[in-house]
Every structure is written in C-alpha cells, then in structure tokens.
C-alpha cells in the first residue's frame, strides 16, 4: 500500500468520493483482497482513534466516577468487618496490655519467624508442566524444603527462570543454608525480573535470621516504595529502630 491508497481510503470514509469513483473503488476492493484488507484495518484504526480521542473527556469522567464509587463500596465493605462496640475495645485493650506485659520484654529484637511468610508456588498452572515441577511445588508448598531443594536443582539445569531461582533460594533460606541462599538472592537482585525486590527482601530476612540487624536494615532501605510487600518492610524497619 502506498500514500495514494491511504488518501483514497480517507476520502471514501469521509464520503467525499463522487458516485463514479466510489463504485470503482468498491469494485477494486472486490477484486483485490489485499486492498480490502488494508482498507478494513485502516477503517478500524480510524474508529479506534475516534473512540479514543473523541470521547477522551467522557472516558476521564467515567474513570474518576468509577474510582469514587469503588472506594465507597470498598470502605463499606471494610467497615462492616470492624463494627466494634466500645465494650469490645476495652476488652481488646486489656488483652493487648496483658500480652504486652507477658511478652514484650522477652522479645525486643524482631525475629525471623514473624516475617517469614513464604508464598505458595504455582508452577503447574502453566499446564504441561513436567513431573519434577509438580513434585517441587508439592514439596515446597508442604514446607518440605529439604526435599524441594534437590528437585529445584534438577529443574534449574534446564529452566533457569527467575521464578524457580527465587523459590530455590527461599527453600535454602528455610533450611539455614545462608551462604547458598544469599548467592541465589544476590544474583536475582542484580537482575531485572519481577523477583528483584522479593530477592532483596529475602536477603534482608536472611540477615535477620542470622541476627545481623545492621545489614538487614541496610538492605531494607534499598527496597523501592512501590514494592508490593512494603508494609512488611516498613513494619520490620520500625521494629529494628
């Protein structure tokens, strides 16, 4: 297709062709499938742009309205869950104080266990996954990390994806193989996968488990604000201070 064609398409769409030209153009489309295909694409793009820019203001208004309504329902939903009566506050507060008295002094430093929430693995959702993946997933999700580790090692020979590396690293960390785990996480940290920030978090957890609070904090501070587990990061930072 060349410039002439596109000018012609536009004229046709705007209804600016005279009857003779229009008939001739329609005839050519019947005879040249390639011309027809190009025209159809052109027409669709035209519609798309018209829809996109012609309703830009309406679309913006709709999105804002949607956000507002979504928030209202969101809030209603949340407030339903925490409809406390004042009486419960008193009770809850006394229980909290009691617990605080019992445990506070014993545990001034944050502990690994409080922050150790390994996520579930879903390798086999990909479909057609091989047997090792399935086994590794089951072992890992069942917290049988020492069983999962050799399986991950086999898988990593053929599939070096960040996902597998990450779950391998988490397994190593769970069984206290710190040096190995940290090597895996450090590699992920310098990569660009979606596991990059999770890897930094895991490195920090590894330091926490080894009670190296200073390195833990330094690592936490390098995790960007938009990391999905940021409340955990903030909570741990608070505890470390």
The residues of the shown chain that bind other proteins, judged by CB under 8 A, are 1, 3, 5-7, 9-10, 37-38, 41-42, 44-56, 58-59, 61-63, 65-67, 69-70, 73-74, 77-78, 119-120, 122-123, 125-127, 161, 163, 194
Nearer to other proteins among residue 27 and residue 41 (C-beta): 41
Comparison of 55 and 134: residue with beta carbon closer to other proteins: 55
CB of 38 to other proteins, least distance (A): 6
Contact, 174 vs 143, CB < 8 A? Answer: yes
Q: Outline where the chain has alpha helix (H).
A: 3-13, 19-31, 33-54, 56-81, 86-103, 112-115, 131-141, 145-158, 162-174, 178-190, 196-209, 213-220, 230-240
- Complex with other proteins: residue 53 or 88, whichever CB lies closer: 53
Q: How far is the CB of 194 from other proteins (least distance, A)?
A: 6
Least Cβ distance, residue 48 to other proteins (angstroms): 5
Could you tell me the CA-to-CA distances from 3 to 9, 10, 31, 52, 127 in Å, in that order?
Answer: 10, 11, 20, 24, 46
Min dist CB 34 to other proteins, Å, is: 9
Rounded Cα gap, residues 221 and 237, in angstroms:
8
Tokens 């920090």 label which residue?
204
Q: Which is nearer to other proteins, 231 or 241 (CB)?
A: 231
**42 versus 185: smaller Cβ distance to other proteins:** 42
* Per-position DSSP letters for 203-222, written without gaps between them: HHHHHHHTT-HHHHHHHHTT
Least Å distance, CB 137 to other proteins, is 11
């Amino acid at each position: 297709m060349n410039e002439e064609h596109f000018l012609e398409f536009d004229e046709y769409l705007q209804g600016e062709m005279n009857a003779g030209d229009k008939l001739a153009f329609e005839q050519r489309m019947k005879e040249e499938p390639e011309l027809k295909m190009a025209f159809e694409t052109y027409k669709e793009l035209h519609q798309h742009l018209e829809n996109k820019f012609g309703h830009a203001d309406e679309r913006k208004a709709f999105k804002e309205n949607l956000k507002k309504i979504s928030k209202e329902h969101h809030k209603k939903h949340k407030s339903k869950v925490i409809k406390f009566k004042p009486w419960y506050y008193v009770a809850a507060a006394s229980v909290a104080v009691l617990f605080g008295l019992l445990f506070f002094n014993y545990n001034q430093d944050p502990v690994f266990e409080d922050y150790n929430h390994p996520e579930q693995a879903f390798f086999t959702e990909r479909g057609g996954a091989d047997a090792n993946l399935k086994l590794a997933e089951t072992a890992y999700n069942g917290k049988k990390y020492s069983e999962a580790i050799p399986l991950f090692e086999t898988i990593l020979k053929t599939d070096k994806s960040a996902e597998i590396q990450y779950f391998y690293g988490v397994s190593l960390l769970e069984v206290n193989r710190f040096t190995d785990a940290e090597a895996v996480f450090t590699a992920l940290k310098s990569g660009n996968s979606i596991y990059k920030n999770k890897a930094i978090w895991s490195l920090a957890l590894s330091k926490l488990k080894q009670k190296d609070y200073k390195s833990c904090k330094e690592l936490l501070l390098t995790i960007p604000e938009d990391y999905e587990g940021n409340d955990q990061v903030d909570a741990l930072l608070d505890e470390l201070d």
